[in-house]
A and B are shown apart, each in its own frame.
Chain A
Amino acid sequence: MSKKSFRQAINEALRQEMRRDPRVIVMGEDVAGGHGGTSGTVDAWGGVLGVTKGLLTEFGEDRVLDTPITEASYIGAAAGAAATGLRPVAELMFVDFVGCCLDQIMNQAAKFRYMFGGKARTPLVIRAMFGAGFNAAAQHSQALYPLFTHIPGLKVVVPSSPYEAKGLLIEAIRDDDPVIFLEHKVMYDDEEEVPDEAYTIPFGEANLTREGDDLTIVAFGRMVKLANEAADRLERQGISCTVIDPRTTSPLDTDTILDCVADTGRLVIVDESSPRCNMAADVSALVAEYAFDALKAPIRRVMPPHTPVPFASVLENLYLPSVEKIEAAVKAAMGHRVPEIA
């Protein structure tokens, strides 16, 4: 056990799985970097944010492949390789670039098993960073997990901390279905205690980061952290919250969500993705259908407006869910009169 960053936790998961299983390979744009450069430096980048640093040196060119800028073909190649004996972890860099290769994910990898009558296995992991908070603007800041969640055949992981990231990534690599693994770009330097040895966290099992009596908060990815901060503040004001981190949006641990709502009778959902057809909508529908009688107040959703992600900090801050917005939503659900936060 030692303190590790989100970045280190992911790197360690990749390293340990590559040591364990020679079929695990890593590919993507500049996952090593330096090929064709004039300095002769190998592993010049190790990923744009250094997440895959050192893998090339340890595992060599056959298992760590730099790709040209050609997402449709290398993501498709990863899917094809997965269906034929390898266990690729392909890095898409920014999840927004899925626009360039969605067919290979949505129409190919996701559907092989079903279309082929159960004959295919596609142990593919696609890693990508997502999320706003970096002034990266409309094409580099989206939180697209609902897009993937919508597609039958894909599993979707949204880790909320370094510990979660390591265990969930190892699980993803060992899983025999295509998994989309989404890393919030603002979290790479977050640190916490992470075991040195390999461990897995099963998909579809939510984590209760705290338990309370008054209200349930369901939050995804980085929003779990904000939800816990809000819950700390609310605790001091006499409101006790359960915070659920579903960990995976597909499969979704519906039992835990319904049980907690049955216990608390109130629900706030915190979702960084665009508000239409997102996880907040999905969870709301679930609760409205199966836990309607338990609800003591309308469900509240904290999420961005239906706009692209703006560039300027003032707008990006308004756009994003925040601790204050979560706190206000919880109080509103508790029946307190609260001033509206934009």
Chain B
Amino acid sequence: MQIARETLLRSYRAMRTIRDFEERLHVEFATGEIPGFVHLYCGEEASGVGVCANLTDQDTIASTHRGHGHCIAKGVEVAGMMAEIYGRRTGVCQGKGGSMHIADLSRGMLGANGIVGGGPPLICGAALSHKTLKNGAVAVAFYGDGASNEGSTLESLNLATVWRLPAVFVLEDNGYGEATGASYACAGSQKARAEGFGMPYLECDGTDFFAVHQAAGEAIAHARAGNGPAMLHVRLARWYGHFEGDAMTYRASGEVAAARADHDCLTIFRTRVTQAGLLDGTELDDIDSAVRDEIESAVIAAKQAPLPEAADLLADVYVRY
């Protein structure tokens, strides 16, 4: 499938933005200035971006605790995200949610999620809205290999088929749920799970934007056409610990270095598009430097932004009370 030039440029920019955003957070977190838990998406950029390149603002996604990448891929504004992570009033959630709860419903982003397996049921609901309202939109749940074992996830696979929902389940399999390997925790096969619930199963290399874009495109087209849900199994590696501060003693030394060296989605993308003459190296360089500036100013702005005010504590528990 031919991918439009703007899509390629936008996707590269999104992947680069996620990378720089996360690498910067890794550095900033170590200074102790960032409160709470932070889970980085480094190394997994092509998945969120490859999937979301097939979506519009009308489509809905639900994310996970490792949500920054999905947010950026779905178009959530970077400065507002950074401010949120710093707990500032200018954050996308006014400093009330933090890293694990970034959401922007105007972008069809139904939220990162602190509860593993929290997203798939919500996505059934979003898909039900789209189906009932006949708006042509689809709903996509990102969930991890760990989350694939939650009852809420498995029940959602069933419900989505029973109700023939325009839902896509994107299983981001980075091989670990916290410090436990997927080979220990996941029984049977994900393919058999999809088939057992009566939905098509697709699989792809999550470090190759083109592979993700292609496979996600098929899964999303299937759902959008009214054929019911599909599962996309994306294989990835995460480059940092489960959360910032995790020493990763459960991973072989060299595992991350090898992923960085041989499976960097940005390098793979650059080689592919320049060799095929789709984009020019200098265009990518320009994006790199623009993103560097954007992240730098997002961090500076976040650090200087005002803190929430006392009255904010009581606001927005309800619409009306």
Contacts from A to B (Cβ < 8 Å): 29-30, 33-41, 44-45, 48, 66, 68-73, 96-97, 99-100, 134-140, 305-308, 310-315, 318-319, 342
Main SS of the interface on chain B? loop
The reply to whether B184 and A100 form a contact with Cβ atoms under 8 Å apart is: no
CB–CB A315/B178 < 8 A: no
B:211-265 near A, CB below 8 Å: 249-253, 255
Where chain A touches its partner, the secondary structure class is loop
Q: Shortest distance in angstroms between B154's beta carbon and chain A's nearest beta carbon?
A: 9
Which residues of chain A are near B310, meaning CB under 8 Å? Answer: 314, 318, 342
Cα A72 to Cα B152 with chains together (Å): 9
B50 at the interface (CB under 8 A from A): no
Q: How far is the CA of A181 from the CA of B18 in the complex (A)?
A: 40
Query: B96: CB under 8 A from chain A?
Result: yes
Known A33-B178, A135-B98: A307·B37 in contact at CB below 8 Å = no
The answer, yes or no, to whether B150 is at the interface (CB within 8 Å) is yes
Residues of B within 8 A of A (CB): 35-37, 87-88, 93, 95-98, 100-101, 113-117, 146-147, 149-152, 176-186, 249-253, 255, 307-308, 310, 312-314, 317
What are 30 residue pairs bridging A and B, where the CB atoms are less than 8 Å apart in the complex? A29-B178, A30-B178, A30-B179, A34-B180, A36-B183, A36-B184, A37-B180, A38-B181, A39-B250, A39-B253, A41-B249, A44-B179, A68-B177, A68-B185, A72-B151, A100-B152, A135-B98, A137-B101, A137-B114, A138-B97, A139-B100, A139-B101, A305-B313, A308-B317, A310-B95, A310-B313, A311-B96, A312-B87, A314-B307, A315-B313
CB-based contact B114/A140 at 8 Å: yes
Chain A residue numbers with a CB within 8 Å of B177 are 29, 68-69
| Chain A residues within an 8 Å CB radius of B181 | 35-38
Q: Are B252 and A34 in contact (CB under 8 A)?
A: no
Bound Cα distance A29, B185 (Å): 10
Report the separation of the CA atoms of residues A6 and B252 in the bound assembly, to the nearest whole angstrom: 32
Taking a contact as CB atoms under 8 Å apart, the answer to whether A307 and B180 are in contact is no
Q: How far is the CA of A311 from the CA of B308 in the complex (A)?
A: 10
Partner of B180 from the list A36, A134, A310 (CB cut-off 8 Å) is A36
List chain B residues, Cβ under 8 A from A29. Answer: 177-178, 180
Smallest Cβ distance from B274 to chain A, in angstroms? 33
Which residues from B are CB-within-8-Å of A68?
146, 149, 177, 180, 185-186
Report yes or no: A37 in contact with B149, Cβ–Cβ below 8 A: no
A35 touches B184 (CB 8 A): yes
A11 to chain B, nearest CB (A): 18
Given contacts A44-B250, A307-B313, A35 and B308 within 8 Å (CB-CB): no
Across the interface, do A33 and B98 meet the contact criterion of CB distance under 8 Å? Answer: no
Assembled-state Cα–Cα distance A136/B38 (Å): 10
- The distance from the CB of A320 to the nearest CB of chain B, in whole angstroms, is 11
A138 → chain B closest CB, angstroms: 7
Q: Report chain B residues within 8 Å CB of A34.
A: 179-180, 249-250
Q: Which residues of B contact A312 (CB under 8 A)?
A: 35, 87-88, 95-96, 98, 307-308
